[in-house]
Amino acid sequence: MAHTATLTHGGFNLTARIANLIEHVKENRARASEYTRTYTELQRLSDRELNDIGIRRCDIADIAREHAYCS
């Protein structure tokens, strides 16, 4: 009887875990999309435009990562 209760509880727990996994996947996809968008926009700027805003071309990936994953 205790085994049946454990299975039922585990079933609900599994459903919650799957829902949580799906939510994390959606969040990670949104962050990856934001990274790509930021990276692409900065890459499209000329060296002069980047210099005007104080960004070196070699720092674009770090800036995009920080924007998408640390904010």
What pLDDT digit, counting tens, does each position of 10-52 carry? 567 998 999 999 999 999 999 999 999 999 999 999 999 999 9
- Residues 27 and 59 sit within 8 Å (Cβ to Cβ): no
Q: Over the range 37-46, which residues count as b (16 or more CB within 10 Å of their CB) and which as e?
A: ebbeebeeee
Q: Which amino acid is at 59?
A: D
Q: Is the dihedral of CA 63, 67, 70, 71 positive or negative?
A: positive
More confident residue, 23 or 9: 23
The pLDDT confidence band at residue 2, using thresholds 50, 70 and 90, is: low
pTM of the model: 0.75
Tokens of 39: 């990276």
Residue 45 per-residue DSSP state: S
